[in-house]
Amino acid sequence: MLTRKQHELLMFIDRHLRDTGFSPSFEEMKEALKLRSKSGIHRLITALEERGFLRRRAHRARALEVIRLPESTAPATLARAEPAPAARPAFAPNVIRGTFASNLPGVARGANEAAAVHLPLYGRIAAGQPIEALRDQGTSVEVPAALLGGGEHYALEVSGDSMEGAGILDGDTVIIRRDDMAENGSVVVALVDEAEVTLKRLRRKGNSIALEAANPRYETRIFGPDRVKVQGRLVGLLRRY
């Protein structure tokens, strides 16, 4: 899942490559997306590269290669891009409460009488660069009630490898307890600039907030306190083999 700006940039680069045979300049990309600075383009390209949509060719200027397009745009092979879809709603999960008495809706009991609860499953959250985390309507994941405590919970699918040092791998499902506070060093869902979310370890350094990866390939990102809001903290993880 891409943000609207990531999708727009990917489509623009693909069109430019097909029309001219070479990738657009940063200035052209900035103008096409109506951004104020080239740093925003650099961040978007890094996110697309990490998620496997773009590749930068080393030692060559203006050398971007589109590896793949979103499935909704190109089901089988790379095709001429369609207009970017309208922006989807911002991340605002409607979570369910984690008070799991056996008479609550959504709670089931298996043969071993172990209670389970169905949590709403939201979109893929980047464990690399931030992306939007949007709810996949109607999708849920069954979680053992013993894994949860009190409070409100939801699930997110992880995309990327920047938290692998914390045992969180690409494709894992993380269980998040909704909270706007977290202890220093906690793994959290963080809302950045009221637009994007990411899964990172939270570090407070004076008046700054650092979002720290658990992979040396990724740099720690530091923000002012007014740019980051905690949306929840990690309480569990599910993995399919």
Banded pLDDT at 210 (limits 50, 70, 90): very high
Q: Are residues 62 and 100 in the same domain?
A: no
What's the average model confidence in pLDDT over 200-208? 90
pLDDT value of residue 12: 92
Average pLDDT, the chain: 76
Three-state SS sequence of the chain: CCCHHHHHHHHHHHHHHHHHCCCCCHHHHHHHHCCCCHHHHHHHHHHHHHCCCEEECCCCCCCEEECCCCCCCCCCCCCCCCCCCCCCCCCCCCCEECCCCCCCCCEEECCCCCEEEEEEEEEEEECCCCECCCEEEEEEEEEEHHHCCCCEEEEEEEECCCCHHHCCCCCCEEEEEECCCCCCCCEEEEEECCCEEEEEEEEEECCEEEEECCCCCCCCEEECHHHEEEEEEEEEEECCC
| Domain boundaries, position 43 | 4-66
The residue from 162, 186, 205, 229 that is catalytic is 162
Tokens of 127: 């464990």
| CATH of residue 122 | 2.10.109.10
Q: Are residues 217 and 156 in the same domain?
A: yes
pLDDT value of residue 46: 84
Q: Which of 4-13, 15-24, 50-59, 221-230 has the lowest mean pLDDT?
A: 50-59
**115-152: per-residue pLDDT in tens?**
778 887 776 776 655 444 455 556 788 888 777 878 88
Residue 71 Cα distances to 2, 16, 227, angstroms: 11, 20, 32
Banded pLDDT at 224 (limits 50, 70, 90): very high
| CATH of residue 19 | 1.10.10.10
Q: Are residues 29 and 137 in the same domain?
A: no
Q: Are residues 218 and 165 in the same domain?
A: yes
When comparing pLDDT for 56 and 162, which is higher?
162
In a domain, 46, yes or no: yes
When comparing pLDDT for 197 and 215, which is higher?
215
**63-90: per-residue pLDDT in tens?**
788 888 887 554 433 434 444 444 444 4
Q: Are residues 52 and 134 in the same domain?
A: no
Q: Is 102 a catalytic residue?
A: no
Q: Are residues 126 and 224 in the same domain?
A: yes
Banded pLDDT at 60 (limits 50, 70, 90): low
Q: Are residues 136 and 228 in the same domain?
A: yes
Banded pLDDT at 61 (limits 50, 70, 90): low
Q: Is 205 a catalytic residue?
A: no
What's the average model confidence in pLDDT over 150-177? 88
pLDDT value of residue 138: 62
Q: Are residues 176 and 220 in the same domain?
A: yes
As for how many domains the chain has, the answer is: 2
In a domain, 73, yes or no: no
pLDDT value of residue 107: 45
Q: Are residues 28 and 100 in the same domain?
A: no
Q: Is the pLDDT reported for residue 24 higher than 50?
A: yes
Q: Are residues 105 and 9 in the same domain?
A: no
Q: Is the pLDDT reported for residue 189 higher than 60?
A: yes
Q: Name the domain boundary from 66, 87, 113.
A: 66
Q: Are residues 15 and 116 in the same domain?
A: no
pLDDT value of residue 187: 94
The residue from 5, 23, 30, 200 that is catalytic is 200
In a domain, 76, yes or no: no
